[in-house]
Amino acid sequence: MLYEQHKAEIDEILARYPVDRKRSALLPLLYLAQDVYGRLDRDSIREVAEILDLPYTDVFEVVGFYTLFYNEEVGKVVLDVCDDVPCCFCGAEELVADLENRLGIKAGETTKDKVFTLRRVKCIAACDQAPVLQANLEFHNRVLPDKVEAMLAKLRNDVESGKPVSISGRLAER
Amino acid sequence: MPKTELKEYIVMRNREIENIRDLDVYLASGGYAMAKQALTSMTPAAIIDEVKKSGLRGRGGAGFPTGVKWSFVPKELNPKYLVVNADESEPGTFNNHEIIDENPHQLLEGIVISAFAIGANVAYIYIRGEFAYGARFLEQKIAEARARGLIGKNLFGTGYDVEIYVHRGAGAYICGEETALLESLEGKIGQPRLKPPFPAVAGLYAKPTVVNNVETLTNVPRIIEKGADWFRSFGTEKSPGTKAVSISGHVKKPGNYEIPLGITIREFIFDWAGGMRDPNLPLKFIIPGGASSNWLTEQHLDLPMTWDDMAAAGTMLGSGAMVVLDTSVPVVRAALKVDEFFKHESCGKCSPCREGTHFLVKVWERIDEGHGRVGDIELLADVGKQMLGKCFCPLGDSSVSAVNSAIKFFRPELDAAIDAQH
């Protein structure tokens, strides 16, 4: 299914690596599968494993290792707030609390309407922009209290207006 | 003392040439002329020699001489690979982020020259998964350069081919360690490999591989253009050139700065980054080279920012990431957050790191939450002692920096935190 429906993209990915090293395509294919299926459940993992002739367990292990692969259901927009040093001393804790309050969930949870998932993450290499978050891997810099409401409204509107969503950042544009 | 002037930018040229990210602007500023010159008029050995003479050291953290690293690649083994480490993940570091977003063609030109020098026809840019936009952006830039014949087959009519591919990681700090990066690029979990063999001999797909940091390679076109002597006119004898340094935390002007190596920490914080943010909250401590580094305090402000001076003071310049924290920061919380990072990012391969980081966090956490026990500081020191030098790769050791630094400089504050709980 995945291969048939995304043949051109998958073939282009496979062509980047030597023919006898197609396992290298695993991370990009998992990103694709995650976007198509919304998360990496057992069936989608199995499908990727079959495309690359890999044992299912090898792929399962890789999915578990990396933080940007989601086993569990996530919302259409994954909000990743950096709470590392120095962000945690520059407004990140206040931002997490504010988002939890507005969304009615705790970090690590998804809203009932499945629009937002909120996560605390480690350094995302934008420390001078603290407090900083990524929404589906798009940076939102200096998310000070007065910016939160408008940011959430825009993100929600993007989802509701049917704009293509990529939780894996596969379709990222500047 | 007046602020040292940077004569000109070497890597962050986006700060002086507007829109240098656009290929036409880059070409107009002399872009890709050095790739052409290197490929058409220099031998690989001559390029390696020039880079060796420049004294360029790896900007990713270790500071290993780049030209020497290149010369370890055995000539007779093929294919060879160049792998670009764009997995910028050390807490406090965000300078590769700017180079990728704002000066991508200088990086790509550096890749072309360096790949030619080591005899590689394929280069992979391993970029951290969170830089989804940076990854797509680089792909667009590669496509633009390819369309003008600056990347691809038969470059400048020399018969030399090079392809550059962008490969996104998926969220794992350990993949910044070069052998873990190679594992990840091969589609596996990112756990470091036993060395030797070193990647120069058996790296990607067990073939000779050079892994270089983004900033390191971005220096290369300018070294070819202006020569080793010009490069050495910046910085110090043992740390020549400039360094893109990220500064964050409680300073007035956080951001990236390209500094001549060798200026003091005092000058960097107070003259370049504007000093402390709040006049009522003085400097408490500095994490000078990313979360992995041992902390410094006010007594170290006159330390020159070079690899060797920082190492002599028991810390490191690292990837160029200075986190400055004021007196509002509780030491226990800071150490807890640093060690939470290492616990989260431990790859699980070796037990001292996998278990040790959990123990450290557990103890820091109970002190932070008000349940510290008498003897906890000694316990932290003891766990650190059992980890230091006993982990498979530097990640485990790095988690001990916060422990030892907190104890060394802030023992009374730690003791008081525990005493207050009894």
Reported as a single tens digit per residue, the pLDDT across B269-301 is 999 999 999 999 999 999 999 999 999 999 999
Q: Which residues of A touch B256 (CB under 8 A)?
A: 128
pLDDT for position B397: 95
pLDDT per position as a tens digit, A88-116: 999 999 999 999 999 999 999 999 999 99
* Mean pLDDT within B290-317: 95
Q: Is the pLDDT of residue B387 over 70?
A: yes
Tell me whether residue A87 is annotated as binding: yes
- A125 CB near a chain B CB, below 8 Å? yes
* Beta carbons of B172 and A138 less than 8 Å apart: no
The pLDDT confidence band at residue A156, using thresholds 50, 70 and 90, is very high
Q: Cα dihedral angle (A88, A91, A94, A96), rounded to 10 degrees?
A: -60
* Mean pLDDT within A55-60: 97
Tell me the average pLDDT of chain B. 96
Q: Closest approach of chain A CAs to the CA of B287, in angstroms?
A: 10
Give the whole-angstrom CA distance, residue B164 versus residue B161.
10
Q: Is the pLDDT of residue B421 over 80?
A: no
Q: Which residue has the higher pLDDT, A162 or B276?
A: B276
Domains of chain B: 13-232 (3.40.50.11540), 242-326 (3.10.20.600), 331-419 (1.20.1440.230)
pLDDT for position A133: 98
Please give the ipTM for the structure prediction.
Answer: 0.97
Q: Is the pLDDT of residue A19 over 90?
A: yes
- Picking from B91, B96, B329, the nearest residue to A123 by CB comes out as B91
* Mean pLDDT within B22-43: 97
What is the phi-psi region of residue B259: left when phi exceeds 0, alpha when psi lies from -120 to 50, beta otherwise?
Answer: beta
> How big is the CA angle at B103 (ends B98 and B107), to the nearest 5 degrees?
105
pLDDT for position B350: 96
The pLDDT confidence band at residue B251, using thresholds 50, 70 and 90, is very high
pLDDT for position A109: 98
User: Sign of dihedral through CA atoms B243, B289, B60, B86?
Assistant: negative
Burial class (CB in 10 A: 0-12, 13-18, 19+), A103: buried
pLDDT for position B156: 97
The pLDDT confidence band at residue A173, using thresholds 50, 70 and 90, is confident
Tell me whether residue A90 is annotated as binding: no
- Picking from A52, A62, A84, the nearest residue to B189 by CB comes out as A62
Q: Closest approach of chain B CAs to the CA of A149, in angstroms?
A: 24
pLDDT for position B1: 58
pLDDT for position B419: 87
pLDDT for position B2: 63
pLDDT per position as a tens digit, A23-40: 999 999 999 999 999 999
Nearest CA in chain A to B245: A128
Q: Is the pLDDT of residue B329 over 80?
A: yes
pLDDT for position B252: 98
pLDDT for position B109: 98
Domains of chain A: 2-65 (1.10.10), 77-160 (3.40.30.10)
* Mean pLDDT within A34-57: 97
* Beta carbons of A127 and B91 less than 8 Å apart: yes
Tell me whether residue A123 is annotated as binding: yes
* Mean pLDDT within A41-62: 97
Q: Which residues of A touch B250 (CB under 8 A)?
A: 86, 89-90
Q: Where are the alpha helices (DSSP H) in B233-302?
A: 265-266
Tell me the percentage of chain B whose pLDDT exceeds 70: 100
Q: Is the pLDDT of residue B21 over 80?
A: yes
Q: How many CB pairs under 8 A join A and B?
A: 158
Q: Closest approach of chain A CAs to the CA of B130, in angstroms?
A: 6
Q: Closest approach of chain B CAs to the CA of A45, in angstroms?
A: 14
* Mean pLDDT within B43-52: 97
pLDDT for position B125: 98
Nearest CA in chain A to B344: A122
Q: Closest approach of chain A CAs to the CA of B136, in angstroms?
A: 6
Give the whole-angstrom CA distance, residue A109 versus residue B196.
44
Interface of A with B in 68-87 (CB under 8 A): 68-69, 80, 83-86
* Mean pLDDT within B361-382: 96
Q: Which residues of A touch B345 (CB under 8 A)?
A: 122
Q: DSSP readout, B210-224? A: EEEEHHHHHHHHHHH
Q: In sequence order, what are the residues at sequence separation of 6 or more whose Cβ sits closer than 8 angstroms to the Cβ of residue B367?
A: B332, B336, B376, B414, B417, B418, B421
Q: Is the pLDDT of residue A63 over 90?
A: yes
Q: From the candidates B96, B100, B122, B130, which should be mutated to test the interface with A, based on the most A CB atoms within 10 A?
A: B130
> How big is the CA angle at A27 (ends B214 and B205), to the nearest 5 degrees?
70
* Mean pLDDT within B76-81: 96
Q: Which residues of B touch A173 (CB under 8 A)?
A: 133, 136
Q: Closest approach of chain B CAs to the CA of A111, in angstroms?
A: 23
- Picking from B91, B137, B325, the nearest residue to A84 by CB comes out as B91
pLDDT per position as a tens digit, B137-177: 999 999 999 999 999 999 999 999 999 999 999 999 999 99
Q: Is the pLDDT of residue A174 over 70?
A: no
